Structures are given as structure tokens and as C-alpha cells.
Amino acid sequence: MKFNTKTIHGGQKHDPAYGAVMPPIYQTSTYAQSTPGGHKGFEYSRTHNPTRQALENAFASIENGEYGLAFGSGLAAIDAVMKLLKPGDEVISTNDLYGGTYRLFTSIFKNFGIKFNFIGMQNASNIEDYITENTKIIWVETPTNPMMNIIDIKATAEIAKKHNVLLAVDNTFATPYLQQPLDLGADLVMHSATKYIGGHSDLVMGALIVKDKELADKLYFIQNASGAVCGPQDSFLALRGIKTLHVRMQRHCENGRAVAEYLQSHPKIEKVYWPGFESHPNHEIAKAQMKDFGGMISFVTKGNDYNEAIKIVENLKVFTLAESLGGVESLCGHPASMTHASIPKEEREKTGVVDSLIRLSVGIEDEEDLINDLKQAIG
Ligand SMILES: Cc1ncc(COP(=O)(O)O)c(C=O)c1O
């Protein structure tokens, strides 16, 4: 099955009870047993739920994995991965990453004796300098949030394999429409399904996808033991979202290109961060590992002026000023005070998250309306 077909049919079968084409929302916490242990594969909805299972099968299918797991949020999914570790273990992570992931690593798991190295991975060979015998996970975001850096997944996977380290890729920004990390050698893919997977800004959810049975079993154990699962209603919504992922992503990419090119040509804009530009330092890697360049764009205005950036985000009308990304509607954000406020100023400025940086999640509206909105807001 090819990707577009998979988004609609991958891992799905018609409901065995009445043939419903969409999996019903099994709004139940528990399941009748004829005798202790005599059930139909479902005992308790923290462990398994038929609607969630249909979604987990869809996750596995669209990422070319074998096993999918759904969680109550993207951070709950990352939390489950970190619970594979024990005190003394080390993680090497991209230094430019979602602020909430940074907060989870440094304010929670660090207290349990896990060591994190945040490094620039744009040159994959850097990673080897940080690998020790205690390194267990390499954590990669690509494109990174919000600086749109690109990490070479294949080259990183080769290093991870050589040192027997697990490579986990947060594929939230790219989605499996644009890149499939498991095919490039990663061991685990993570999503904030809140974003493009759900696609309509109406749910909060996380996903993990792996190929290896032993790793999947460990993660299923953590999912059930820690219990950060999503409910059947949200599972249904995410399944519905996945069915249009490919058509939405096509339009996100088209509009993303138009907006990036418009901003690039604007005399008041200093720099636009978007991997589709030939001038992007890792454009060639992006071209090789991604099908297109997506709808996430960051930019700074000339003079690096905080007040000017705030004025722009307040003036935008079609773009809504809000946290999050990946929905059909265009959003804008000010990372330094919103999504990345949990990263200390000096740390975030090292990676380019300055006070004048604006991040756009370009939606699927008419291109002309988006450009006109930016025109009136920037002036
Ligand atoms: C790249 C990335 N990873 C993880 C997360 C966390 O996901 P959630 O908000 O669903 O917990 C986000 C949220 O913005 C994100 O942008």
C-alpha cells in the first residue's frame, strides 16, 4: 500500500460488530468477562481500547512501523520513552528543541539521575564526541522547533547503530507524509499528534511507533503501568485526521513555500528560517530525506526588535496568535515568550531563539489571504 492509501486504510478493518466503516467510539472503561480471564481481548481501557487500538494500528502503518502506541499528549509519549532509562544513563539531544521537551528532560528526568547533553547535530559527526558507555538514547527533532534546523537521520542512525544506542526522532514537524525516520534507520518515532496528525486543533495526543517487538513490549508495559493513555473520543478524532493528512500536507507545503518566499523578499525582514531555501545550511539533507519542506517557518525582523515582533503578531488577523501548530488554520507565535519560555534566555539565544523571532504554522487557507495578512501586519 502506498502512503495516501495507508492514511485511509492502513491497519484498519471494518468493525466486526456491525461493519461500521469508521471504528466506533468505544466509550467504556471495562469489558464483560464470562469467567475470570474469559474476555475478547479487552479487559480494561487503560490497557487496551478498540478505538485506541485502531488508531495505534494506523500510526504503525503510516510510519512504516510494526507497533504504534497512543498517549494522552506528546509529552506523555516522550515521558514513556525516558522511562526506558535508569539512573546513570545518558541522553544526547538536539540543543534546539521544543521547550516542553527540554523542561521534561531538565526539570524532571535529570532529578532521577539521567544526564542530558544538548548539542548541535547539524553536523552528525559531532554526536560521536558525546557518546559514552552510558549513552542510551539519541533524541532528535528534525526540522527543529523553532529554528528549522535539519538533522541527517541516516547519518545519525549509522552512529547510533555503531554504538548500540537507540535513535528516537520527534517527527511532529515533518509528519510521515514528508519523512519516515524508521526507513532511514531510526529505532523509534514520536509525534505530538496534537499537531499535523490530528490536524484540526481539537485534541491533545502523543504517539510512538517502533519496528522492534522487544522495544514495543517495553513501551506497552510503560504505557499500561504509567497509564498516560488517550481516550476513545480523541482516538476517533485522530483517526479521522489521519485520513486527510496527505491532502492537508500538500497544501501546507504549497502555502509554506509561498509565505517563506514572500517573507524572504520583504525589505523589513532580516532572516527567514525554512529548509526549502537553497541557502538553508542543510537544504541538501532536507531534500534527500524529506518529500517537501512543510509549512513551519520562523523569521526575524531587521534590527532584531522585540516590540516590532510583538506588533506584528498582534496585527495579524488571518493568522491567530496561539500556541501549537499543524492545524488547518494558520497560527503565529512568539517562541521566546510562549512555546520556548521554559528555556533560559541565554540557552535559547545560543540557538537563535531571540526575542524578535516569530514562528508561523502556515495553514491551508487561500495563499493570497495569508500573504495579504502578512503584508498588512508587517507594513
Ligand atoms: C516538536 C514537538 N514535540 C513535542 C511536543 C509536545 O507535544 P504535546 O503538546 O502534545 O504534549 C510539541 C508541542 O508543541 C512539539 O512542538
- The one catalytic residue in 67, 98, 102, 262 is 98
Report CA(220)–ligand 1 centroid distance (Å). 21
Tell me if residue 240 is catalytic: no
- The one catalytic residue in 6, 96, 187, 195 is 195
Q: Please determine whether the domains at 3-242 and 245-378 fall in the same fold group of CATH.
A: no
Q: Is the CB of 206 under 6 A from ligand 1?
A: yes
Q: Is the CB of 100 under 6 A from ligand 1?
A: yes
- Per-residue pLDDT tens for 255-298? 999 999 999 999 999 999 999 999 999 999 999 999 999 999 99
What pLDDT does residue 21 have?
A: 94
What pLDDT does residue 304 have?
A: 87
Measured CA to CA, the distance from residue 154 to residue 184 in angstroms comes to: 5
Q: What percent of the chain has pLDDT over 90?
A: 93
Q: Is the CB of 194 under 6 A from ligand 1?
A: yes
Classify domain 3-242 by CATH architecture.
3-Layer(aba) Sandwich (3.40)
Q: Which CATH number fits domain 245-378: 3.30.70.100, 2.102.10.10, 3.90.1150.10, 3.30.43.10?
A: 3.90.1150.10
Atom of ligand 1 nearest to the CA of 193: 10
**For the residues 224-252, what does the mean pLDDT come to?**
98
In the structure, what pLDDT confidence band is assigned to residue 347 with cuts at 50, 70 and 90?
confident
Ligand 1 binding pocket mutation candidate from 73, 75, 78, 105 (most atoms within 8 A of CB): 75
Report CA(33)–ligand 1 centroid distance (Å). 38
Nearest CA to ligand 1 atom 15: 98
- The one catalytic residue in 31, 46, 154, 240 is 46
What pLDDT does residue 315 have?
A: 97
Rg (CA), the chain: 21
What pLDDT does residue 348 have?
A: 87
Measured CA to CA, the distance from residue 142 to residue 346 in angstroms comes to: 22
Residue type, 96: D
Tell me if residue 79 is catalytic: no
What pLDDT does residue 342 have?
A: 82
Tell me if residue 170 is catalytic: yes
- Per-residue pLDDT tens for 51-63? 999 999 999 999 9
- Per-residue pLDDT tens for 308-330? 999 999 999 999 999 999 999 99
What pLDDT does residue 340 have?
A: 86
What pLDDT does residue 284 have?
A: 98
In the structure, what pLDDT confidence band is assigned to residue 207 with cuts at 50, 70 and 90?
very high
Measured CA to CA, the distance from residue 277 to residue 18 in angstroms comes to: 51
- Per-residue pLDDT tens for 139-165? 999 999 999 999 999 999 999 999 999
Mean pLDDT across the chain, nearest whole number?
96
Domain ranges, ordered by start, for the chain: 3-242, 245-378
Taking a C-beta distance cutoff of 8 angstroms, is the pair 116, 85 a contact?
no
**Is the confidence at residue 240, as pLDDT, over 90?**
yes
Q: Is the CB of 146 under 6 A from ligand 1?
A: no
What pLDDT does residue 344 have?
A: 87
Atom of ligand 1 nearest to the CA of 323: 14
